[in-house]
Every structure is written in structure tokens, then in C-alpha cells.
Amino acid sequence: MLKTLVIGAGQGGGKIAVAFQDGPIFALNSTDSDALPELSGEHKIYFSNGGAGQNASVGQQLFAEHYNRIEEQLFARIKDTGQPQVIIVSASLGGGTGSGTLGHLADMLKAQYPDVPVFGVVTLPENAFLNPNSAANVIVAMEILKQAAALDAMIFWDNNKVLARDIPLDTVNKLAWGPIKRFMKYVGYPSTVRTLDTQDFYSLIQRGGSMAVFDTNLPLAMTDPDEIIDQIQKTWGRGFYPSEITENLDFVGGFGFIVAVPEIRQNRERLYHQLNTRLSGMFPQKTIRATGFFMDPELPASQYKVITLLSGLPFPNRRLADIISVAKTKRTIVEMPDLTQDDDLVATLGDNLRVVIPQKRGEDSKLAAFLGGMAKPPARTPMMKKNRI
């Protein structure tokens, strides 16, 4: 698997990072009230005593005040783990520290590792936790991420879908990481048919916007392409991603496709090529495609694995618009960012959503291109280092 560095920001982000389990994992927090016993002391960095108090603006301020200390301690400890091939930062949006520091942390990492892809894994708060304060924290986090422009892509997990399945939180994090880790396992994996190499993976990540990864195990007896594609498409509606993420394939900027079998046989190789042709044809011509076919003796003898990655997707505009509608009920909004120049929030999935934030310090504080402009960033080649999401 790719050498991956994972850093969690805030309490929720630290728990998400710990669930990754493989490779160097660090946690950054403004308080030690949640000590994360799974990590040794060298892998935990605390930069304040009192925490951010569920306020993203305070979290951002604390990060700025302790920037030099954070930078010195973090990179001194990362140095001993070796050069990463990919960096993942995680946070639970809605809280104070994770929301306020994630974008700045990503920017710090990108400055240190300019040629290493950095993507974010974040959770969106469930309705039961959503209030004007937590909703405002999400908006602050998204604005910081937009201004920092340090993330190559973002993966969103929707806690509403987590609650609907009634799964313990630690189990959820492990389940959600599964498809991502399994896809990365095969990046650079040897193959006599088609290898998906590191540069292929980078090109998928660097399409910007949202990213989602899905996998499924199929019985070896299943060889009908129509039946297999139906199963693959069903996986796109599952998982913990916001439901709207895969509603319109016209917005897919990158498509990764992996088939892993316990034993290479001619008929399975032929099936891979059939599926690759059929699935690739479902996306726009401009979509970048990266595929691989592998023999993995660790797989059960009766099954094969299919993994798909979709990148360059719009942000989950409807869910974010719901969060914004809660945020605008906040009485004191002096900490709300002025994100846009217009008041029409246009979701790229076709819904015209009108959102007006109350006035800020006597000026119009309006949200328009915030999601419409961010939802579908311009496609980039791996060489482009500017204009990330």
C-alpha cells in the first residue's frame, strides 16, 4: 500500500485518524481532554489548554497563535516516519478545533510536501447535533479550506447516514476507511495485465472537488457484465457519503476501476476488459480513467473484488445548504465569513437554492458562489499546484 501519513485535527478528527490503523498516524488538538490512548505521546500534539469551546473561529485563532510550535513539533516527529506518498487530514466539521484548523493544517503540510497529494476526510454533523453554532463552524471550515486551497480533494461522510444504520462510532470509522485503504493497497501492485501506478492515483485525486471510493466482493460464478455493473452501481448508493454525491455521473472528473481476483485466468481477464469498456463509457470524454487488474492470493478462492473511485465530484450542495439554513438563524454572526459576492446559491446538481445570510457588521453578508463556485472546481493535471478546491 502507498506510504500514507494520516493526521487528525480536533477530537473527532483524531478518532477518525486512529481508525485508519495503518502507517504513521498523528493527532492535533487544542486540548488533551480526549487523550486517544491508541496513540503514543509522540504522536499527539496539544497546542492549548482550554480547547476551542466548539467555536471554529477560536480554533483558528489558537492555531495561528501556536503556529510555530505546531510546525516545529509536527515535522520533527513526522521526519522519523519517512517520506509519505500521500497525506490524509481528517476532521469532524461542526466542532471548534477541527473546523478551525483543518484548512491551515493542510496548508502547512502542502508547503512542506508540495509534490505529495493531500486530501481531506471530514464528517458533516448529523441533524441531532446541528445547531446554529455547529452549522456556523461548518461554514467557517469550508471558507478556510477554500482560502487555503491546499487540499487536492475531499471525502465527505454524512453522519445522518451513520445514525440511520445504528453502528457504533469506532466501527463506523473503520468501515468507512475500508474501501479507501483497499484501493490504495493495489496502487503500484504488480500486474501482468494492467497496473494502476502512483501517478495514475495522483491524477485521480488531483481532479479536485469531492471524492468517493466504493468496493464490493462478488462470487467468481458471477460473470454476466450487466449483472456485475448493476451490483457496482448499487454500491454507489451505499456507504456513508451524502446521497447526492453520485446522482449525476456527468460531473465525474476521475474514474478509478480495480478488479482483483484470487487467480488469473483468461476468462477473468476478458471480463475485466469488458467491464472496463462498459463502465468507462458511462462517463464524459473529459473524465480521467485509471484502471488495474490484479491477482491477489489473499482473497478468498470463491470471490473477486471490484473497487471504484469517483473524483472531481461536486460538493454535497444540498446537505451544505441545509446546514447553511441552520447557521443563518444564529443571532450573533460577526464570526461568519463573507464568502461570496451574490445571493444565489446554485447547486451544480440542478437545484437553484436561494440563501441569504443576515447582515454582518452593517454590510451584506451573502452566500452565493460559495457552493456553486466551489462545487465543481476546474479540472487539473497532476502538474498543476494552484487553484485547488
pLDDT of 329: 72
C-beta contacts of 356-365 below 8 A and 24+ residues apart: 356/328, 357/324, 357/327, 357/328, 357/333, 358/328, 358/333, 360/333, 360/334, 360/336, 361/334, 363/338, 365/333, 365/336, 365/338
Single-letter code of the amino acid located at 222: M
pLDDT-derived band at 339 (thresholds 50, 70, 90) equals very low
- The better pLDDT of the pair 361, 100 is held by 100
Distances (CA, A) of 369 to 84, 320, 323, 374, 386: 34, 13, 16, 7, 19
Q: What gap in Å lies between CA 20 and CA 9, rounded to an integer?
A: 14
Average pLDDT, the chain: 82
Of 326, 351, 122, 107, the residue nearest 371 (C-alpha): 351
**Span 265-271, average pLDDT:** 89
pLDDT of residue 341: 36
> When comparing pLDDT for 209 and 345, which is higher?
209
Q: According to the model, what pLDDT value does residue 384 have? A: 33
pLDDT digits (tens, 9 = 90+) for 166-196: 887 778 888 999 999 999 999 999 998 999 9
Mean pLDDT, range 86-104, rounded to an integer: 94
Is 343 or 331 the better-scoring residue by pLDDT? 331
Lowest mean pLDDT among 38-47, 202-211, 333-342, 375-384: 375-384
Given a cut of 60, is residue 335 above it in pLDDT? no
**98-107, 138-147, 213-222: least confidently modelled range:** 138-147
More reliable by pLDDT, 69 or 374:
69
Share of the chain above pLDDT 70, in %: 83
CA-to-CA distance for 118 and 206, rounded, in angstroms? Answer: 9
Reported confidence tier of residue 135, pLDDT bands at 50, 70, 90: very high
How do residues 200-213 score in pLDDT, each as one tens digit? 999 999 998 999 99
> What pLDDT sits at residue 330?
57
Q: In the CATH scheme, what is the code of domain 211-307?
A: 3.30.1330.20
Beta strands per DSSP E along the chain: 4-9, 25-29, 44-46, 86-92, 118-124, 153-158, 210-219, 254-261, 288-295, 303-313, 344-346, 352-354
The pTM assigned to this predicted structure is 0.84
Tell me the CATH number for domain 4-151. Answer: 3.40.50.1440
Helix H segments across 27-131? 56-65, 67-79, 97-112
Residue scoring higher pLDDT (256 or 381) = 256
* Cell reading at 69: 510550535
Is the confidence at residue 374, as pLDDT, over 90? no
User: What pLDDT does residue 363 have?
Assistant: 27
pLDDT band per the 50, 70, 90 thresholds, residue 53: confident
pLDDT of residue 34: 63
Whether pLDDT at 340 is above 60 = no
Categorize the per-residue pLDDT at 368 as very low, low, confident or very high, splitting at 50, 70 and 90: very low
Where does the pLDDT of residue 362 fall: very low under 50, low under 70, confident under 90, or very high at 90 and above?
Answer: very low
Q: Which of 207-221, 339-353, 362-376 ranks highest by mean pLDDT? A: 207-221
For residue 141, which of 339, 362, 364, 368 has the smallest C-alpha distance? 339
Could you tell me the residue ranges of all domains in the chain? 4-151, 211-307, 317-375
pLDDT surpasses 60 at 389:
no
Local structure of residue 23 (DSSP, 8 states) = S
